[in-house]
Amino acid sequence: MFGIRKNSFLGIDIGTYSIKVVEIKVRNSKPTLTNYAWISLDDVKNKEHSAFDDASWPTYLKRILKEAKIKSRNA
């Protein structure tokens, strides 16, 4: 964007049972998986004794990004 070529991207899958994140970097014009992480929403429900709702997924996404040390923010 604006003439700056991005070489790092996130793939985010927010599903019914889990949230998954992959970090892809472009090296030598080829995409390379450099990092991945996921959290099972069933585990979240069991540990925190509460139901997972649509408003809480950003909290868990931030947790995944921090714990996996994912640096890219281009989704």
- In three-state secondary structure terms, 16 is coil
More confident residue, 75 or 49: 75
CA angle in degrees (0–180, nearest 5) for 65-55-18: 50
Specify the pTM: 0.73
Radius of gyration of the chain (CA): 14
Residue 35 has pLDDT above 70, yes or no: yes
Burial class (CB in 10 A: 0-12, 13-18, 19+), 19: buried
